[in-house]
Amino acid sequence: MRDGFIKVAAGTPKIRVADCGYNAGQIIALMKNAAEQGVKVLALPELCVTGYTCGDLFLQDTLLRGAEDALGRILEETSDLEILTAVGLPVWNRWDSKLYNCAAVIQRGKILGLIPKIHIPSYGEFYEGRWFASGRGTEYFLTLCGQRTSLDGHNPVIFDCENVPGLTVGVEICEDLWSAEPPSARLALNGATVILNLSASNELAGKGAYRRSLVAGQSARLVCGYVYADAGEGESTTDLVFTGHNMIAENGTILAEKRFETGLTVSELDLGRLTHERRRMNTFGAAEGSSWSCKFQLELGDTVLTRPIGKNPFVPEDRGDRQERCEEILTIAALGLKKRLEHTRASCAVVGLSGGLDSTLALLITARAFDLLGRPRSDILAVTMPCFGTTGRTKSNAQILAERVGADFRAVDIGEAVRVHFRDIGQSMEDLSVTFENGQARERTQVLMDLANQRGGLVIGTGDLSELALGWATYNGDHMSMYGVNGSIPKTLVRHLVRYASDETLDPELSAVLRDILDTPVSPELLPPKEGEIAQRTEDLVGPYEIHDFFLYYAVRWGFGPRKVFRLALVTLGGDYDRETILKWLNNFYRRFFAQQFKRSCLPDGPKVGTLALSPRGDWRMPSDAVNTLWRKELEEL
């Protein structure tokens, strides 16, 4: 439960219809199994104490007494379990002589509350209205299993954990989710971060996909964790089949799912992620009207993580999704540039082409923008500017790439101009310091800007999101452009976009040069080569980009602190990097991220294509003189 993680489960016991004693035993076994796995919140199916398919037996006193006795046994035999459990059973309320389809929320042998089903289906294969009343507007206290408890369908009831920040549980039952006005909406607006759904949804061809979309969509709409427990084996198959379609979703993502089997579906919800997103979204407001809160506590401890944590969070793992994402991003970026070219009536676009990944992507996006404009790609001026660190490999790749894309190509050797500049400022050619490096970068930017002025064009920026996060750009050098198409694309995604272009092109020579660019070490090429090979490798200096992109995603997009980012990195990247290496680069990430904000405060325009950008006009507004003392202190404690 530390770092905001809570282990939850949806369980489907194998039951017998109307055999409440047998069902109680199955429920108890499932609860104990869940507790052994570290589960803290458990949802069980609708009416699982009796079985959903009892029909007119629901009107029999014997069944209702059996259900209450079974719940009493469950309470007694699980009184030592701290797991918060929602279990389904019929409850007769003597005050209004109505029968309700309820979720009993229990913990440590106590009934914390009864939540009645609001929307009672009586259509198609469903006949619940024959036996059950809607819980809408109900507000009673009654005695069940010798305990006085509430039956409340009028006020949103939330179960608030006093010692786990962010853990607030709400409950709805089956059809409630399928209705036009799900109770979970009011529950979430009253603070519920986790919604439990006790369901008995029969199976039909195609229904599983629709059910999955409902659960994922509701969790996204409410920015919550959603635990869906479905009835399964043991229900009557007189007319229907139930398959135990259990799901755990978080903010639109299905974390775990099982179908056609009984037992537990387990995963962990990230409460920190959910509460951060709600803080960030100012449209997520509070509900009007009153609510009722029931307090409970859990024993604190570490939660073993089994939920999927992507190694490359900016890149979809599924190849089909990745291909679709790449096409979408290239089109969005190209449309942004298309609009800027139209608005400025630029006669050309000028791209500095180094033979590296970033400038390659910028050229590919620019070519696509010109195609959208219906303009010839020859209106693109691709400029390579070799200097002291340029290798023959990157220079050759730049030229071949420009030719295969169809851009106008020009080589401008800036070596002599930089030497003159160094003589003017008294910079020794033997002093390979930051001045030696940045002098070249700024000269290249000057050349691009002046060529754009000559032709009435725009300089297209090539710097990516990862470089901006680390400040790995020369201020007023490659940091500056007239429109930055790569500014919200992290390095790990840049690589996949270039690979996608290589795979999709019908030009074998273009594909070949793109593959060679992918194989070229990432480098600014500002230091002289060693034996003709690149001497300066970026990832040796600032750290592997796959690590930094991981840090960037969780530290900035989700607002996690260093301790939690480090924990996730150990779980996900620990097989490739040892603890000391991850911690070293995490320290470097926070140091550079704070120190280099001044570069991000004056970024050129550029399109946002994903969930994260660092433009001061968009996602990220941070003072350039903010200090990292709190973050550094947390790092020192790791």
Catalytic residues: 46, 117, 174
Sequence-ordered alpha helix ranges (H) in 532-620:
538-542, 545-552, 562-573, 579-595, 597-600
DSSP state of 181: S
Q: Are strands 349-352 and 458-461 parallel, antiparallel or unpaired?
A: parallel
392-405 and 508-519 helices cross at what angle (nearest 10)? 150
Q: Which two tokens stand for residue 60?
A: 């029999």
CB 496 within 8 A of CB 355: no
Tokens 């859990």 appear where?
A: 298
Residues 6 or more apart from 124 whose CB is under 8 A from it? none
> Going edge to edge, which strands form the sheet with 157-161?
253-258, 246-250, 225-230, 194-199, 168-173, 157-161, 292-296
> How far apart, in whole angstroms, are the C-alpha atoms of residue 65 and residue 63?
5
Q: Which two tokens stand for residue 473?
A: 């750009």
Sequence-ordered alpha helix ranges (H) in 6-78:
20-36, 61-77
CB 352 within 8 A of CB 524: no
> How far apart, in whole angstroms, are the C-alpha atoms of residue 334 and residue 361?
11
Q: In this structure, what is the dihedral angle of CA atoms 172, 175, 178, 184, given to the nearest 10 degrees?
A: -10
Whole-number CA gyration radius for the chain: 30
Tokens 């449309």 appear where?
A: 335
CB 356 within 8 A of CB 520: yes
The Cβ-side half-sphere exposure at 154, using a 13 Å CA radius, reads 8
> How far apart, in whole angstroms, are the C-alpha atoms of residue 444 and residue 427?
18
